[in-house]
Structure 1
Amino acid sequence: MISQKVAQQSLRRLAVQQPYAMRWSLMNAASPAAIAIGRNIQTRYATSSTQTTDPTKLLAEQRLRRPVAPHLSIYRPQITWYGSAAHRLTGIMLSGPLYLFATAYLAAPLLGWHLESASLAAAFGALPVIAKVGIKGFFALPFTYHCLNGLRHLTWDTGRAITNKQVIQTGWTVVGLSTAAALFLALL
């Protein structure tokens, strides 16, 4: 029953999308009598190639003979490349620890860990000042860069600041502002 409905739906879609293909397939279909008598026999002709090599080996050999495009080695590195890579890396650097901490926070009661806010604040408060600044800076720089570069991308989505000159200017602006903001947050 279900297979009949699927077949009907697919035939209807074919008839609507390609009406001539439906008519052609019905005209060229063999009748049951022709099949029973043996008048509609499909034959496969021999290939014209005499090679009997494995096609996967043939493709591997062809790939070895292809020239390699110089792609990255001939272009001058630009801020857009580094900015795109840094945006992705900062997203990973921020989301990875977040998922690890969220999982640990959920498992903490089962494992007897103390990951409450008061415990974390007390542990962080007991660290030396240089360690506090280092930890905050370690998280502040990717955070500020990812946020500011995300705003840059949202600006591009509106169709603004999309010329080459503006893209380069906003790229360096994001680098400068994120560094300044990260230093501010780390020293806070």
Structure 2
Amino acid sequence: MLSQKVAQQSLRRLAVQQPYALRWSLMNAASPAAIALGRNIQTRQAATSSNSSDPTKLLAQQRLNRPVSPHLSIYRPQITWIGSSIHRVTGLMLSGSLYLYATAYLASPMLGWDLGSASAVAAFAGLPIIAKVALKATLAMPFTYHCMNGVRHLIWDLGVGLTNPQVIKSGWTVVGLSTISALLLAFL
């Protein structure tokens, strides 16, 4: 019990007072008792003022002087990160709508709704042509994009097309092919 307490105190002392001393002492195999007593500890002069005795205040002050990481607003939008974001959003849209429809379909007998295929076909048949095409395109675009981009990722898993020009070209190819295929599905 006493040895554990000595070891804990020595590690705490090292972590607060001299962060590099722990690594140095472990490399030189100093015992915890020697560390606790202050022997065999590498010392260095701190480049701080003498009036700051609290290490937590010193660390807080040093953090204020560190550079801030750049934000996304300084970067030019690229097809790679936009495509990755859209792929995730379309996956959420497709799975979310599936779960929502499946839940409504299971609850429909209790609520008195008719969500069968016959009622869906009848409701869709009553729409004007422009509404039909718009609805089909709205449903087809996330599906086709997610499908085409999924194939792109499978090709990447093979180790093909991973250079920057190839990634940019395949990104725009996915956008073009998914738009064309969504429009073809909408006009069928």
Work out whether the TM-score is over 0.5: yes
User: How big is the shift at 1:143?
Assistant: 0.7
Q: Which amino acid aligns with 1:113?
A: W
Residue of structure 1 equivalent to 2:96: 96
Which secondary structure does the structure 2 equivalent of 1:76 belong to? Answer: coil
CA separation of 1:182 and 1:112: change in aligned 2, threshold 3 A: same
User: How big is the shift at 1:72?
Assistant: 2.5
Q: Which amino acid aligns with 2:167?
A: V
Percent identity, aligned pairs only?
64
User: How big is the shift at 1:74?
Assistant: 3.9
Cα deviation per residue 1:129-173 (whole Å; 9 max; x = unaligned)? 111111111111111100000000000001111111111111111
Residue of structure 2 equivalent to 1:181: 181
| Total equivalences in the alignment | 148
Give the alignment's TM-score, normalised by structure 2.
0.67
CA separation of 1:59 and 1:131: change in aligned 2, threshold 3 A: farther
Q: Which amino acid aligns with 2:166?
A: Q
Which secondary structure does the structure 1 equivalent of 2:69 belong to? Answer: coil
Is 2:88 the counterpart of 1:106?
A: no
RMSD: 3.0
Measured in 1, the distance between the counterparts of 2:165 and 2:97 equals: 36
Residue of structure 2 equivalent to 1:159: 159
Residue of structure 2 equivalent to 1:20: none
CA separation of 1:106 and 1:67: change in aligned 2, threshold 3 A: same
* Structure 1 ranges of 4+ moved more than 3 A: 40-51, 57-66
Residue of structure 1 equivalent to 2:46: none
CA separation of 1:42 and 1:85: change in aligned 2, threshold 3 A: closer
CA separation of 1:62 and 1:186: change in aligned 2, threshold 3 A: farther
CA separation of 1:84 and 1:42: change in aligned 2, threshold 3 A: closer
Give the alignment's TM-score, normalised by structure 1.
0.67
User: How big is the shift at 1:64?
Assistant: 5.2
In the alignment, structure 1 segments of 5+ residues that lack a partner are: 1-28, 31-39
Residue of structure 1 equivalent to 2:168: 168
